[in-house]
């Protein structure tokens, strides 16, 4: 196990270097000059002033030299300086990351628990009335855009009923508490998780139906084993692998998928930080957000591979 993890970490390092290099080159292909943007925000468009900004931030150097400098700095966790926010990128990401982890972590747990539970119920009662109702609801959730769900939840629960806040975390003015934070968290979490609830329901239902038709399930029934016991001891362990695969993919996609939700609900997370960096051509900030997201995806994939072995001992870890 230790050697496998070490081997995967070495491969992960190579993947992250490739991701950083590709993102660096692609961002430089985006139209726009950050020096011009900075000069415009300061109210000065003098060519000499723009050129001094380029020199200050190293934008006047050849592209490959800029890439080499950035890669070397990244190894020391120096992600550069944010042109727009006038602060170190890593400190800004560290400040915003807890809010994103709270949002995506809660959405991940909610979607996994609700989706798998409903999927198991639907699969155990395949083609029944309850199964048809669950499939209809999940198909509806699957087809509705996330941003539309968020806007409708704000309109209903914040504007009309005034039950829940529509934006922020509750700590913006320094007087929030845990209950206030949970009230602010509820609508963004529901918005972000509903799509994946539908995915998990469909996946869990299909897996349960497939396992229920296998020979060893018929054998268990012929021995007189109760239906609930069969479901817990035989069906669920064998139906979990596809769900675990999807969960690892979702966990990685949640970070990038939270951009729309964080923007709609003014949630001060990494996704919103990346969106604002893109709008203002803040290259260093954008690269830092991309690297953070990529690192989380790679790490979660390593964790999911290890969980495969714990769920099904028949699977062997291969370097």
Structure tokens belonging to residue 55: 């020199």
Which pLDDT value is given to residue 249?
73
99-281 under CATH 1.10.3720.10, yes or no? yes
pLDDT digits 0-9 by tens, 128-165: 888 899 889 888 888 888 888 889 999 999 899 888 88
**What does the alpha-carbon distance between residue 317 and residue 307 come to, in Å, rounded to a whole number?**
10
pLDDT digits 0-9 by tens, 251-304: 767 666 678 888 888 888 888 888 888 887 788 888 888 888 888 888 877 777
Parse the chain into domains and list their residue ranges: 99-281
Q: What is the pTM of this model?
A: 0.81
Query: 268 — phi, psi (to 5°)?
Result: -80, 70
Buried b vs exposed e over 23-44: b needs ≥16 C-beta within 10 Å?
bbeebeeeeeebbebbbeeeee
Question: What is the chain's length?
Answer: 319
Taking Cα atoms as reference points, which of 154, 147, 98, 107 lies closest to residue 269?
98
Q: What percent of the chain has pLDDT over 70?
A: 88
Which pLDDT value is given to residue 114?
92
Cα Rg, the chain, nearest whole Å: 24
- pLDDT greater at residue 54 or residue 153: 153
- Where does the chain show beta strands of DSSP type E? 81-82, 87-88
CA 191 and chain centroid, separation: 13
Element (H, E) at 267: none
């Amino acid at each position: 196990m230790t050697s496998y993890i070490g081997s995967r970490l070495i491969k992960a390092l190579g993947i992250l270097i490739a991701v950083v290099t590709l993102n660096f080159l692609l961002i430089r292909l985006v139209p726009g000059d950050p020096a011009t943007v900075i000069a415009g925000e300061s109210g000065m468009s003098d060519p000499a002033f723009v050129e001094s900004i380029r020199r200050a931030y190293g934008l006047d150097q050849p592209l490959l030299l800029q890439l080499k400098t950035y890669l070397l700095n990244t190894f020391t966790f120096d992600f550069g300086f944010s042109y727009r926010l006038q602060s170190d990128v890593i400190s800004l990401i560290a400040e915003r990351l807890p809010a994103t982890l709270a949002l995506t972590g809660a959405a991940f747990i909610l979607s996994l628990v609700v989706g798998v539970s409903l999927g198991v119920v639907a699969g155990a009662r395949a083609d029944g009335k309850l199964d048809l109702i669950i499939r209809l609801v999940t198909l509806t959730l699957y087809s509705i855009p996330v941003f539309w769900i968020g806007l409708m939840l704000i309109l209903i629960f914040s504007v009309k009923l005034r039950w829940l806040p529509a934006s922020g975390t509750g700590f913006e003015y320094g007087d929030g508490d845990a209950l206030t934070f949970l009230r602010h968290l509820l609508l963004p979490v529901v918005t972000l998780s509903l799509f994946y609830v539908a995915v998990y329901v469909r996946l869990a239902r299909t897996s349960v139906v497939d396992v229920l038709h296998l020979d060893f399930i018929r054998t268990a029934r012929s021995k007189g084993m109760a239906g609930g016991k069969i479901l817990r001891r035989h069906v669920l362990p064998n139906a979990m692998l596809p769900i675990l695969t999807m969960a690892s993919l979702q966990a990685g996609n949640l970070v990038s998928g939270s951009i729309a939700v964080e923007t709609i609900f003014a949630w001060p997370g990494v996704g919103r930080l990346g969106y604002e960096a893109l709008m203002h051509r803040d290259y260093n900030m954008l690269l830092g957000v991309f690297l953070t997201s990529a690192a989380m995806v790679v790490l979660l994939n390593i964790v999911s591979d290890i969980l495969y072995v714990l769920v099904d001992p028949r699977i062997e870890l291969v370097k």
